[in-house]
Chain A
């Protein structure tokens, strides 16, 4: 069933009786060509592109809860491609290009809104760093605009420009950045994959792998064993737990990241704004709530909830650039488990076990990567060779000394 304006009109006139479930609920088959573990954004996108780009449709996505119950439904929905390093930037720019055509591509309204993102800077050295980043972005085909304080003032007059500690000197804008309705991304990819024959199997937890003589032959699940020629792990925050059952240690720690939404307000912030002197970012949802967040809590955690010190820290940063926010009341807050890698960059790679593939290490920035992650992972699974924009996202890069450390923070996941 295709969605269209005509379809909505016909349904409205006929009592909305013709709508159907968006995907099937099949029983698992005994064997598949490819099993994708994890029904988050990346897993569902992988299945979608496997079917659509490579014609591989004998595929199952195994999800331990319901699809979208992980980080894809918990993030603050910012998309952008404002990275610096050559191992990352072309990948994220491919992602932004895929976002731009996604709704037409999978015929689903994901409310993709290119409302622009603005990273503020507060000192001369920081300005220089942003000039460099902006140039790196433009060299990879992305858009970047450097603004001085007056330029920022025109966009967001209510910011605290003359703050004594963190005066706003300007910003680096990416007008093509923006926000997306996150759940709709999971649903849209699920529907697109399902309609091409992919089985989406919810309430099916993978508990182990069947590995014989260094070859992965399938998985053990809470609903029995399932065979597969290729097994593609895509479980974000659960990466450490799941790969441990395959006997693998990863360059990843799991950490909790919190997010916050205020009560609904009249339109005030029309794009995404980030603070440059601390970790704080804010946008406004279409319902009016200010959606904001900051740093991860900073200690290993698999609990989907955080602690108060970070709440305080985020609110202090908010007050430092946007004092008006102090009058807004908090509506709700929550946490998600992040797969923080040792250099802050992700992995899309084969493992040492034949037939076992790994996608993870997305840190707090994997939502924007969803389309490219699925696209490149599907490419790897279909061709057994990395996609040209993902050649650096390898598991062995630490051993080779080729880290992709955007922040230069070193092997300290809580600092990325």
Chain B
């Protein structure tokens, strides 16, 4: 697989380390009254879809940035690559 890095261009997937579902960016609030329940969900349960999947890849043998890669788990086709940083910032702005 070739991951089209937003800053560095097309890179071999072998340069990256895979973490998993991009939902891992949404860390629950540790002060919520049901925090234990929320963290169980966050840490252990997965959607694990057959089809489109947004996932976190870390460019360990490159610029050490975290990317969000939209990839199809049935065909391995990659449709979109963003810097995780940009996605998190945009979300923060949207939520004020």
Residues of A near any B CB (own CB < 8 A): 238, 240-241, 244, 249-254, 298-303, 307, 309, 312, 342, 398-399, 411-414
- Give chain A nearest CB distance to B42 CB in angstroms: 10
Query: Within 8 Å CB of A411, what residues of B?
Result: 43-44
List 20 contacting pairs A-B, 8 Å CB cutoff, sorted by A: A240-B48, A240-B50, A241-B49, A244-B47, A249-B48, A251-B45, A252-B46, A253-B20, A254-B73, A298-B18, A299-B71, A300-B21, A303-B74, A303-B75, A307-B76, A309-B12, A398-B40, A398-B44, A413-B20, A414-B18
| Most chain A beta-carbon contacts within 10 A, residue among B14, B40, B44 | B44
Closest residue on chain A to residue B20 by CB atoms: A253
- Give chain A nearest CB distance to B57 CB in angstroms: 8
Query: Within 8 Å CB of B41, what residues of A?
Result: 249
Q: Say whether, besides A299-B55, A300-B20, A301-B73, A240 and B49 are in contact (CB < 8 Å).
A: yes
Q: Which of B19-78 contact A (CB under 8 A)?
A: 19-21, 40-41, 43-50, 53, 55, 71, 73-76
Q: Say whether, besides A253-B20, A414-B18, A307 and B48 are in contact (CB < 8 Å).
A: no
Closest residue on chain A to residue B51 by CB atoms: A302
Pair A342/B75 contact, Cβ less than 8 Å: no
Taken together as a complex, chains A and B put the C-alpha atoms of A307 and B49 apart, in Å, by: 20
**Number of contact residues on B: which range applies?**
20 to 34
In the complex, B94 has a CB within 8 A of chain A: no
- Give chain B nearest CB distance to A251 CB in angstroms: 5
Interface on chain B toward A: helix, strand, loop, or mixed SS? mixed
Query: Within 8 Å CB of A301, what residues of B?
Result: 73, 76
Query: Within 8 Å CB of A240, what residues of B?
Result: 46-50
Closest residue on chain B to residue A238 by CB atoms: B50
Pair B13/A300 contact, Cβ less than 8 Å: no
- Give chain A nearest CB distance to B64 CB in angstroms: 18
Partner of A249, one of B19, B45, B75: B45
Given contacts A244-B49, A250-B48, 11 further A-B contacts (CB under 8 A): A240-B46, A241-B49, A244-B47, A250-B45, A253-B46, A300-B21, A307-B1, A307-B76, A309-B13, A399-B40, A414-B18
Pair B40/A300 contact, Cβ less than 8 Å: no
Taken together as a complex, chains A and B put the C-alpha atoms of A10 and B53 apart, in Å, by: 58
Taken together as a complex, chains A and B put the C-alpha atoms of A244 and B50 apart, in Å, by: 10
Query: Within 8 Å CB of B73, what residues of A?
Result: 254, 300-303
Taken together as a complex, chains A and B put the C-alpha atoms of A312 and B53 apart, in Å, by: 26
Query: Within 8 Å CB of B12, what residues of A?
Result: 309
Taken together as a complex, chains A and B put the C-alpha atoms of A180 and B55 apart, in Å, by: 37
Query: Within 8 Å CB of A251, what residues of B?
Result: 44-46
- Give chain A nearest CB distance to B36 CB in angstroms: 9
- Give chain B nearest CB distance to A48 CB in angstroms: 29
Taken together as a complex, chains A and B put the C-alpha atoms of A183 and B13 apart, in Å, by: 34
Taken together as a complex, chains A and B put the C-alpha atoms of A285 and B12 apart, in Å, by: 34
Partner of A342, one of B44, B55, B71: B44
- Give chain B nearest CB distance to A80 CB in angstroms: 28
- Give chain B nearest CB distance to A358 CB in angstroms: 14
Pair A307/B74 contact, Cβ less than 8 Å: no
Pair B44/A253 contact, Cβ less than 8 Å: no
Query: Within 8 Å CB of B20, what residues of A?
Result: 253, 300, 412-414
Query: Within 8 Å CB of B53, what residues of A?
Result: 300
Query: Within 8 Å CB of A299, what residues of B?
Result: 13, 18, 55, 71
Pair B76/A303 contact, Cβ less than 8 Å: yes
| Most chain A beta-carbon contacts within 10 A, residue among B1, B13, B21, B76 | B76
Partner of B48, one of A254, A309, A312: A254
- Give chain A nearest CB distance to B60 CB in angstroms: 12
- Give chain B nearest CB distance to A339 CB in angstroms: 9
Query: Within 8 Å CB of B43, what residues of A?
Result: 342, 398, 411
Query: Within 8 Å CB of A238, what residues of B?
Result: 50
Taken together as a complex, chains A and B put the C-alpha atoms of A342 and B50 apart, in Å, by: 18
- Give chain B nearest CB distance to A64 CB in angstroms: 13
Pair A309/B14 contact, Cβ less than 8 Å: yes
Query: Within 8 Å CB of A312, what residues of B?
Result: 14
Query: Within 8 Å CB of B55, what residues of A?
Result: 299-300
Closest residue on chain A to residue B46 by CB atoms: A253
| Most chain A beta-carbon contacts within 10 A, residue among B13, B19, B55 | B13
Taken together as a complex, chains A and B put the C-alpha atoms of A249 and B21 apart, in Å, by: 13
Pair B44/A302 contact, Cβ less than 8 Å: no
- Give chain A nearest CB distance to B80 CB in angstroms: 16
Query: Within 8 Å CB of A413, what residues of B?
Result: 20
Taken together as a complex, chains A and B put the C-alpha atoms of A399 and B18 apart, in Å, by: 25
- Give chain B nearest CB distance to A99 CB in angstroms: 30
